[in-house]
Amino acid sequence: MSRIIGIDLGTTNSLVAYVDEETGLPRVIPDAEGRMLLPSVVAFTPAGILVGEAAKRQLARRPQSTVYSVKRFMGRGYEDVKDELRYFPFAIRPADGIVRLAVGGHEVTPPEVSAVILRSLKERAEGHFGEPLEKAVITVPAYFNDSQRQATRDAGRIAGLDVVRIVNEPTAASLAYGLHRLREGVVAVYDLGGGTFDISILRVKDGIFEVLATNGDTHLGGDDFDRVLMLWLLEDIQARHHRELACRPVDLGHDSEVMQELRLAAEAAKIRLSAEERTRLVIPFEDFTYHREITRAELERLVNSLVEKTLGPCRMALADAGLRPDQIDEVVLVGGSTRIPLVRRRVQELFGQTPHSQLNPDEVVALGAAVQAHILAGGITNMLLLDVTPLSLGIETLGGVVSVLIARNTTIPTSAREMFTTSVDGQTVVDMHVVQGERELAKDCRSLARFELRGVDPMPAGMPKIEVTFLIDANGILNVTAKELRTGKAASIEVKPTYGLSETDVGRMVEESFQYAEADVEARMLIEVRNEADTVMTHVRRALKQAGDLVSAEERQRVTAALEALARARETSEPDLIRETTTELNRATEHLAEVMMDTALRQALGSQRAAEIMAGGVERGEHPPAQGNQ
């Protein structure tokens, strides 16, 4: 079998990995600059599409056309996500079925956005191997329902990939550990990522990885932590700077550029607080600079209830596996959010043992996907993953009650058969409504699809005997087939996915994907240098307004001249010229930046040493002009 790559399509970052034939070990493939993580951010610009770092860098400047955390929208409907839409800068139109994003002048669906990320990873791998690649294993949260899995598979197809397997993230992680050092016994994998939470409990024995139970929340992760901190910062800024803010034309909370900067600053501060007890935020605005020290304890108070929310699913999974916490031999942490000390403490309290994360929690899922890919390619024969379906599958019966056909935590593949007949004489079409979930009424469960059995021979009511087989394959995806038992002929089925793309949609998108292809290298470079120029210019204008009177008139003039030169260069189509002029502007503002930083820090800190603070405070979007081109 040809080479198969493993892809972790994450909420915040995505990675691609493969198993090295020589060592037999999985490796993440870095990009040209040596970076392992591809930020899951896609920007739709007039000149083309940007993905990854390049897209993320311009998030705060073009929030309306830059999509991040799209995984939260995969396989979902407008009703599911409308409550959190106000936190996202891009527009989502109310419509039936699948979520549609309006960005950069056209409408895209979440699978199309994910496809851009997948295509970029595919190209990265192709560059690495120097040959075209088609087959991939893609990971999804274990608690993803059928629609979310289908959406992921559709994304792969749109990206030109043959998705040979959808594999669950925590189980993929266990495979990566299995290759390295997992002992035999019962393992709990606690996976808290950027947008989703999973808990899986597995028995590892004789190379078999048997999942006993899984549970989770597909809408709980680092994004939510960032959001509570961001809202807290917003409130604090509004309280402490209400006088400066009074003259702003737009309310701070409705200024999507500011909100994006706050979000990125909150994320950076959260990350720093995993290693440090306290950290300082410095966020420059047009006419003031916001300073704030925040301690780990303060962050913990803010996110505590979110961390608590992960414990219920853990207890459910334990109960479903028929195990007590003390019967777990090992607890493994996966996902970037498990770096948060509070998360580690809570997990430790629940399981009564120290959890570990010896493999990099950002990379372990991709490594596991590569291992699963290698198993499918025939490269590994002594390991086998037996996974489960996370949610009960049923059909709606009379009175809207669900009849369960396949219970949650059933080992997959699995199938169930059900007999259907007609209720009216001469009826030729039979409807079925398939749902997923644990509630008794169909309306409280997740609607997956409506199936229409067509071509039933007209007979008196109750006479036709149609046997319908519901098969959940090893991807956790439902396949439905039907047979008329009297005639033995297969009945034709039309599937209407409730929150998914139809076959025709996907086919069209595969074609269109070439049209929307990522901007070519030259165009991309131009976009990037222009973006960079814009960022630097914004910062310099802001700095001049805020601190212009702290330097000499002569210096001010020099800076203004350099600024105007860049504004002119930016309009040309010459990347080199724009880049050089940007560097010149940066050079011209070095002194201004120092003065500004010094003053700001002195004001804020009194006696503390400025250098110490600068080391912690100047990451990401909140940097002063001199750092603009880092």
Partner 1 sequence: MNYFEVFGLPRRLGIDVAELQRQFYELSRRYHPDFHAGAPPDEQASALDASARLNAAYRTLRDPVARIEYLVRLEEGRETKEGAAVKAQAPPELLEEMFEIQEALAEAKAGGLDEGTRATLRAQRERLRERLREADAKLAGPLSAAWDAADDSGRPKLRELLKQGLATRAYLKTVIEDLGQALGEEEGTGEHVAHHRH
For the CB of residue 521, give the shortest distance to partner 1 in the complex, in Å: 35
Six-digit token pair at 96?
A: 């039936």
Taking the complex as a whole, how short is the minimal distance between the CB of residue 474 and partner 1, in angstroms? 5
Residue (of 185, 191, 147, 196) closest to 171 by Cα position: 191
Phi, psi of 133 (to 5 degrees): -125, 145
Q: What is the dihedral of CA 414, 507, 163, 391, to 10 degrees?
A: -40
Q: Can you read off the two tokens belonging to residue 578?
A: 């724009």
Least Å distance between CB 126 and partner 1? 21
Evaluate whether 122 touches 161 at the Cβ level (below 8 Å): yes
Distance in Å, CB of 267 to partner 1, minimum? 34
Residue whose entry in the numeric block shows the structure tokens 């959010």: 337
Active site residue 169: yes
* Closer by beta carbon to partner 1, 50 or else 136: 136
Give the separation between CA 168 and CA 187, rounded to whole angstroms: 15
CA angle 145, 139, 53 (to 5 degrees): 115
Annotated catalytic residue, options 56, 71, 135, 270: 71
Min CB(72)–partner 1 separation in Å? 27
Amino acid at position 311, single letter: L
Residue nearer to partner 1 on the CB measure, 105 or 488 = 488
* 96 is an active site residue: no
Our CB check for partner 1 shows the closer of 261 and 396 to be: 396
* CA-CA-CA-CA dihedral for 303, 308, 309, 310, to nearest 10: 110
Beta bridge mates, 521: none
Count of residues making up the chain? 630
Q: Minimum distance from CB of 491 to partner 1 (Å)?
A: 18
Query: Could you say which of 112, 146, 154, 169 is catalytic?
Result: 169
> β-strand 478-484 against 490-497: which pairing, if any?
antiparallel
Tokens of 197: 């939470």
Residue in 31, 112, 154, 191 annotated catalytic: 191
Nearer to partner 1, 404 or 480 (CB): 404
Q: Is 517 helix (H, G, I), strand (E, B) or coil?
A: coil
Measured in degrees and rounded to the nearest 5, phi and psi for residue 204 equal: -110, 120
Dihedral of the CA atoms 128, 134, 139, 144 (nearest 10)? 150
User: Which one, 118 or 213, has the nearer CB to partner 1?
Assistant: 213
Does 83 qualify as catalytic in the annotation?
no
Sorted by sequence, the CB contacts under 8 Å of residue 23 that are 6+ apart come out as none
Q: Which is nearer to partner 1, 208 or 523 (CB)?
A: 208
Query: Which DSSP symbol is given to 473?
Result: -
Supply the minimum distance, in Å, between the C-beta of residue 203 and partner 1: 9
Q: Are strands 106-108 and 135-140 parallel, antiparallel or unpaired?
A: unpaired
Active-site residue, 71 included: yes
Active-site residue (options: 8, 31, 154, 267): 8
d(CA 472, CA 460): 33
Count of beta carbons in the 10 Å neighbourhood of residue 237: 22
Cβ closer to partner 1: 150 or 256? Answer: 150
Residues that bind partner 1 (CB under 8 A): 1, 164-165, 205-206, 208, 210, 315-316, 319-320, 322, 372, 375-378, 381, 384-386, 392, 394, 397, 401-404, 407-408, 410-417, 437-440, 471, 473-474
Residues assigned a catalytic role: 8, 71, 169, 191
